[in-house]
Structure 1
Amino acid sequence: MAFEGLTERLQNAMKKLRGKGKVSEADLRDTMREIRLALLEADVNFAVVKDFVKTVRDRAVGAKVLEGLNPAQQIVKIVDEELTKMMGETAVPLNKSPKIPTIIMMVGLQGAGKTTTAGKLANQLKTEQNARPLMIAADVYRPAAIDQLVTVGKQIDVPVFEMGTDVDPVEIVRQGLAQAETNHNDYVFIDTAGRLQIDEQLMDELANIKALANPTEILLVVDAMTGQNAVATAEGFDNKLDVTGVILTKLDGDTRGGAALSIRSVTGKPIKFVGEGEKMSDLDVFHPDRMASRILGMGDMLSLIEKTQKEYDEKQAQELTEKMRENSFDFNDFLDQMEQIQKMGPMDQIMKMIPGMANNPALANAQMDPKDMDHIKAVIYSMTEQERTDPDVLNPSRRRRIAAGSGRPVQEVNRMIKQFTQMKKMMNQVSKGNFSGMEGMMNNAGMGGALGGKMGQMAMRQMSRRMKKNKKRRSNLKRRKK
């Protein structure tokens, strides 16, 4: 998980402040030293770290924060604001041409993930805006680069223009753009060649493609795991091509995340998207303020809600709400819930979006193993239809049969059934607007160990939000009728 080490270090630095009724200049100095070390360990550019620490210290002293109420909270607020500013303050949308097509040129070093990212972005536009993109295979050097783009295109049902490896890339782009005009494609993605390092031949070719295509966007795809080298790469490409934005890939595989904190400050170019996962849907708009909150362990509820809304079926949510009210929620429904939550991404990443959970000891010790979900599914699949819809019939002999059928210990089956019952009660209470005693029930409702409890909490939170939204909608409709 990106920023894991940085989050822990920053949390520890802030914790020392929170434990004090009054913060002295010496306390502030020690805290800033911890923050500086944390940022440097995260591979943030040295000059960026130096400016950041100086700004935070000057703001804290200049605003007489140390003499005010809740100085520790105010310092955390300053750090949050400056982290946000360092990464660009606000999300920067994709540029769009006033006339079609909008041409997007994907550039970057070999192995950064250009081809996959082009597919992810094309898929996002197709899914969310009903766009009709075309992808042009202009990388004629890397073995199987064209085949990879064609495979990606088939996966997301987006056409790919290619002319093989024996044609000049500039000519491929020329003819690809002509096809896009003929077919009225509204977006064109040019997948260009990369190298292991920047060289003149590569840059001259990219400059020629730019001169021909006149792209609306030149998006630099950077591997976040390369740390400060990512910043040097960004500077090199920007000096030659004047890139319009950056996409950070493999952010989920980097525990440091220094590239995200450095690129905007050093190059002045916005990070527009981040890739965190292998699936074609694993590309998110980069929100500096939300990322700052995640880094400080304060969660990212807005992104979590957006993920929920994307993956959650409205009709199914309404049906499930009714089942919760009637207390008829069964194992079939729970299976559906697991599949919905799995679509949102790895559970440990999802939980860290919830405020307070990023540095929660219980979460830190929890084994967020995807196999736990498979074990739960195996147990449910080993039940008869009657047992799934009426858990009350699950006597000891049935449980032993289910354990044998699923290959899980009978104790695990017993625990899962008990915790399912607790979660069912919890969801029923929420459906009636009764939140008393929720915390204790949440802590106990841990399907398959820690994992299921988190799933139960997630399901409850999803349903609670949906119910409130539906209630507000019904209230608005009534007012309009009056």
Structure 2
Amino acid sequence: MFDNLSERLGRTLKNLRGQGRLSEDNISEAMREVRMALLEADVALPVVKDFIEHVRERAIGQEVATSLTPGQVVIKIVHEELVRLMGESATPLSLNVAPPAVILLAGLQGAGKTTTAVKLARHIRDDLKRSVKVVSCDVYRPAAIDQLHAYADQAGIEYLPSDSSQKPLDIARDAVATVRRQGVETLIVDTAGRLHVDEDMMAEVQALNSDLSPAETLFVIDSMMGQDAVKSAEAFNNALPLSGVILTKVDGDARGGAALSVRHVTGKPIKFLGSGEKFDALEAFHPERVASRILGMGDVLSLIEEVERKTDQDKAKKMAAKIKKGGFDLDDFRDQINEMNRMGGMSSLLDKLPGTGQLPAGALNQVNDGMFNRLGTIIDSMTQKERRKPDIINGSRKKRIAAGSGTSVQEVNKLLKQFGQMQKTMKRMKRKGGLQKMLQGMGGGGGGGLPPGFKP
């Protein structure tokens, strides 16, 4: 997300960073570039005007004129104004009500409401430690109810059955009565979407909201829709007392215009970002961290939280002990690839590291999830004995492994060579006492990180 905007802003602000003295002329020129960058990112025009006006006013004011590093101060101002635009601070769910706390999800068809309902339930159960159930009131879209049921089963979330012959209001009322009787703390209600905003849809979701008096009424919005997403958010905000917004499909949105516009247009906070189809791919929205990501400063705090949340700590400790004894094998390498995938893959990790935006374009293309998954497939095609003792893999075995993994013998050779280099690196570090330091730096486990010495 924000790839295009980050690149454009990075070039513009880099020119300012090196300036020893700033004038109204070069600030105005930079602001023109920033304006174009925001418009190309599909940020709403009123939002762009407000942002540029605030930055320009501060940039030509006293705080820059008296600074020894005016270019860097302008970057600081841009960062602070991005934070202001997106809402200052994270806004958690407000569930401090008499149970059950009802969360009503609204939005257009195709925005990802059903997937989001399950992701949100996972967050509430695992992170907030609250009991939760989900129910579908979408009686119009074919198999919508079955879809939520299937997703809930896959994610291990409790599901309340409903039927397309029922009325949405009756489904919701029955669900609230059921969870209240069962002592469940939270109920997530997935509502029907339409391909466009219409009176019938609005009347239905308004009736549900009025009857349920939900603790949270969240608008689920497809970030890839850009300006259309912002317009629909405005329409829903006028019809419903929205308490917040969830942006979905952010991994497929290189522009980020919706994230920068929706708070300004609706006045409601973005609460979560959803990416991909995995049910744990939902992260709290922190304006300051996202602003840092846009400006290429990375988001190390979110990365640390993700590692802590998604790394198997027991497995990590066992891995650390095994590496310390020099017993690291290809099975362990495969586990490391799996850990990385659990955290959203290499692209997600790199997106949160500072300075990634300044790397040459070709460098990032060489490090991608497909490459690591391909290595994993090669390891999967080996026997257990071959994984433990790669030295036994001769020419005929390489041919079999290549055929089984859909790769070439050259790729198998490359993997074995890289793995050999990793083992040599570990032995050298162990002899020099560096391995212990490395393991301590990895939180005592090495969970989530790539094995040392690995070079793509």
Query: When the two structures are superposed, what TM-score results if normalisation uses the length of structure 2?
Result: 0.89
**How far 1:34 sits from its partner (Å)?**
0.8
The C-alpha deviation readout for 1:323-363, integer Å capped at 9, x for no partner, is 33333322221111111111111322221211111331166
Alignment of 1:268-287 (within 5 A): 268-287=267-286
Describe the SS at the equivalent of 2:51.
helix
Q: In the alignment, what sits opposite 1:454?
A: none
Residues 361 and 403 from structure 1, CA distance in 2 versus in 1: closer, same or farther, beyond 3 angstroms? same
1:465 and 2:442 are equivalent in the alignment: yes
Describe the SS at the equivalent of 2:443.
helix
Q: In the alignment, what sits opposite 1:212?
A: 211
The C-alpha deviation readout for 1:115-165, integer Å capped at 9, x for no partner, is 111111112222234432222221222222212122222222333334422
| Identity, % of aligned positions | 46
Residues 193 and 325 from structure 1, CA distance in 2 versus in 1: closer, same or farther, beyond 3 angstroms? same
**How far 1:196 sits from its partner (Å)?**
1.9
Distance 1:262 1:274 in 2: 14
Q: In the alignment, what sits opposite 1:452?
A: none
Contact 1:317 / 1:466 at 8 angstroms: preserved in 2?
no
Distance 2:75 2:405 in 1: 49
Residues 86 and 137 from structure 1, CA distance in 2 versus in 1: closer, same or farther, beyond 3 angstroms? same
**How far 1:24 sits from its partner (Å)?**
3.5
Contact 1:351 / 1:358 at 8 angstroms: preserved in 2?
no
Q: In the alignment, what sits opposite 1:177?
A: 176
**How far 1:381 sits from its partner (Å)?**
3.6
Residue type of the alignment partner of 2:349 = I
1:28 and 2:5 are equivalent in the alignment: no
**How far 1:286 sits from its partner (Å)?**
0.8
Distance 2:402 2:208 in 1: 62
Q: In the alignment, what sits opposite 1:146?
A: 145
Contact 2:317 / 2:445 at 8 angstroms: preserved in 1?
no
Describe the SS at the equivalent of 1:149.
helix
Residue type of the alignment partner of 2:289 = R
Residues 24 and 133 from structure 1, CA distance in 2 versus in 1: closer, same or farther, beyond 3 angstroms? same
Alignment of 1:51-62 (within 5 A): 51-62=50-61
Distance 1:81 1:462 in 2: 36
Distance 1:296 1:187 in 2: 37
**How far 1:101 sits from its partner (Å)?**
0.7
1:342 and 2:317 are equivalent in the alignment: no
Q: In the alignment, what sits opposite 2:131?
A: 132
Distance 2:400 2:197 in 1: 62
Distance 1:196 1:186 in 2: 32
Q: In the alignment, what sits opposite 2:230?
A: 231
Describe the SS at the equivalent of 1:466.
coil
1:417 and 2:416 are equivalent in the alignment: yes
Distance 2:200 2:158 in 1: 29
Residue type of the alignment partner of 1:80 = H
Residues 102 and 77 from structure 1, CA distance in 2 versus in 1: closer, same or farther, beyond 3 angstroms? same
**How far 1:283 sits from its partner (Å)?**
1.1
1:250 and 2:249 are equivalent in the alignment: yes
Unmatched runs of 5 consecutive residues or more in structure 2: 448-456
Residues 79 and 132 from structure 1, CA distance in 2 versus in 1: closer, same or farther, beyond 3 angstroms? same
**How far 1:184 sits from its partner (Å)?**
1.2
Describe the SS at the equivalent of 1:49.
helix
Describe the SS at the equivalent of 2:188.
strand
Residues 134 and 410 from structure 1, CA distance in 2 versus in 1: closer, same or farther, beyond 3 angstroms? closer
Alignment of 1:34-433 (within 5 A): 34-361=33-360, 364-391=363-390, 402-403=401-402, 406-426=405-425
Describe the SS at the equivalent of 1:99.
coil
**How far 1:176 sits from its partner (Å)?**
1.5
Residue type of the alignment partner of 1:253 = G
Describe the SS at the equivalent of 2:135.
strand
Describe the SS at the equivalent of 1:260.
helix
The C-alpha deviation readout for 1:172-215, integer Å capped at 9, x for no partner, is 21111111111111111111122222222222222221221111
**How far 1:469 sits from its partner (Å)?**
11
The C-alpha deviation readout for 1:79-136, integer Å capped at 9, x for no partner, is 1111111111111100113321111011111221111111111122222344322222
Distance 1:335 1:83 in 2: 40
Distance 1:87 1:310 in 2: 25
Distance 1:208 1:350 in 2: 42
Distance 1:240 1:266 in 2: 14
Distance 1:95 1:430 in 2: 49
Query: When the two structures are superposed, what TM-score results if normalisation uses the length of structure 1?
Result: 0.85
Q: In the alignment, what sits opposite 2:451?
A: none
Distance 2:80 2:446 in 1: 30
Contact 2:313 / 2:445 at 8 angstroms: preserved in 1?
no
Contact 1:207 / 1:241 at 8 angstroms: preserved in 2?
yes
**How far 1:297 sits from its partner (Å)?**
1.4
The C-alpha deviation readout for 1:219-266, integer Å capped at 9, x for no partner, is 011111111222221121112211000001111111111010011112
Residues 212 and 322 from structure 1, CA distance in 2 versus in 1: closer, same or farther, beyond 3 angstroms? same
Distance 1:85 1:281 in 2: 28
Contact 1:105 / 1:192 at 8 angstroms: preserved in 2?
yes
Contact 2:320 / 2:446 at 8 angstroms: preserved in 1?
no
The C-alpha deviation readout for 1:278-336, integer Å capped at 9, x for no partner, is 11111111111111111111111111112211221112222222233333322221111
